[in-house]
Chain A
Amino acid sequence: MLRNFGLLGAVLLGLALSGCATAQSPEAAAENDPLEGVNRASFHVSVALDKAAARPVAVAYRGVVPRQIRGGVRNVLNNLGSIRTFANDILQGEATRAGTTLVRFVVNSTIGFGGLFEVAEDYGYPRHFEDFGQTLAVWGIGEGPYLFVPLLGPSTPRDLTGSVVDFFFDPFTYVQWGDESYVPYVRTGLVYLELRSSNIQTLDDIEASSADFYTSLRGLYRQARNNEIRNGAQEIDDLPNF
């Protein structure tokens, strides 16, 4: 629990620091990245750690564990994430999407053997993701400055806050095995292992074709995140003229 308050403290610190932003270039202002110096340092440390540990582990996981098993792990994790998505569907007033999420969870948990198999999609219930960061955006809360959080990656104070709330939304946060509460840690580890292993080549390609890997990821994050918040709806009014 202390760890969670620590994270919350980090979010608040980030918000406070954002108020201390000094002069920035017009382009940095456009990207809303007043902490770029700190963020870049965090980025470089994270990339170094990734190459030293996370990527090799992900490569080994991908090389050793058969694809079918990895797919099953991914499906189970996605199914568990449905609880968070359902809560945020409701909070965003998206009744239809909440219904879809509920049906998906029930179908995949039963016919799909505890989420091991993704069968709801075959019945016409496609997967989508929601989190409390998106809910805050739907409620009109601004994102705040761009942050690159060590080991976690691109974020904003709004999304970090959302992550904390989602952590408490998640019933598995409170699951204990005997006297130990390592279940959420195992699950979190698997989530990141699965995420990293699924994107080894992708991130390699992005890095190889980026003039500035940091800003390339920042731009991808911004656009992708806004697309998630809009639930994929096309937004054409703010496109640059060229």
Chain B
Amino acid sequence: MRNGAKSLAQQTMKSGLLAAAVFLGLAAGTGATFASPATEKYAQETIDRGYVILNNDALSRPQRAEQFREFMLGTTDIRRIAIFTLGQYANSTSPADMEDFVKAFTDYATAVYETRLGKYKGQTLKVTGSNNRAADDSVVNAIVVNPTAPSANPIRAAFRIRAGAGGKSIITDMQVEGVWLAINQRSDFIGFLQQNRGSVPALATNLRQQVITLRGGAN
């Protein structure tokens, strides 16, 4: 139990890096071929692009945040992740409420990303291998490398990459030290919905309030 709690804490500590990465549902035109080497290459290149922005000291904090936002929104299928996080409640949500939620979720995801990922500036990620679940569903494993504090026990990460619309590769979730972020977000949101009579608009409002808090803390 003590170790369990400790490990939990360690993982959550590391999850700052990850919080945003869930939303790196990065789409890229790598074609429909889905062999693991190509998937690994795609994951490495995409994450490297993200880290180029993160590690660019020439950017001011607002500039970096804006570039990251563009990077995310230009490459992410946030709608897919947003709907997933609603679990069973997605089926009973009206189209209007769903649109509103997806918008709130997008802003929330971006705010979490902006505030948390900045704390892990300077780190890099190295792909170490992959596993295929299906022809269009792979998990690419990686380690997080901190050049200033190399460790014999590096943080382990993974990306789930699926084929999206038009055969594009899409990262639908990210794992750090065994914790899949979108899956945990779904637990979080469903817990909220259970406590609030399944009100997706209430969840959207909650997310908007969190954005205010997160951005307030970031300024």
Q: Give A residues with C-beta under 8 Å from B.
A: 25-28, 31, 81, 85, 121-122, 124-131, 133-134, 152-155, 159-160, 162-163, 166, 191, 195, 198-199, 202-203, 205-206, 208-212, 214-221, 223-228, 230, 232, 234, 236-237, 239-242
Contact = CB atoms under 8 A, between A and B. Distances in A.
Interface in B167-204: 172, 177-180, 182-184, 186-192, 194-195, 203
Given A153-B5, A211-B203, A224 B178 contact: yes
B7 interface: yes
A127 B178 contact: no
Contacts of A152: 1, 5
Contact of B184 (A129, A155, A202, A219): A219
A206 B206 CA distance: 15
Nearest to B191: A215
A121 B6 contact: no
A31 B203 contact: no
A131 B8 CA distance: 14
Contact of A220 (B3, B83, B137, B184): B184
Contacts of A228: 3-4, 7, 178
Contact of B8 (A85, A160, A225): A225
B2 A237 contact: no
Given A212-B188, A215-B191, A226-B178, A81 B160 contact: no
Given A216-B191, A223-B178, A198 B9 contact: yes
Contacts, number: 172
Nearest to B202: A211
B202 to A, nearest CB: 9
Interface string B86-99: 01100000000000
Contacts of B1: 131, 133, 152-153, 155, 159-160, 162-163, 166
B133 A206 contact: no
B198 to A, nearest CB: 10
Contacts of A223: 178-180, 183-184
B152 A232 contact: no
A239 B192 CA distance: 22
A151 to B, nearest CB: 11
A65 B80 CA distance: 47
11 contacts: A131-B1, A153-B5, A209-B214, A210-B188, A212-B195, A219-B188, A224-B177, A232-B177, A236-B131, A236-B133, A239-B180
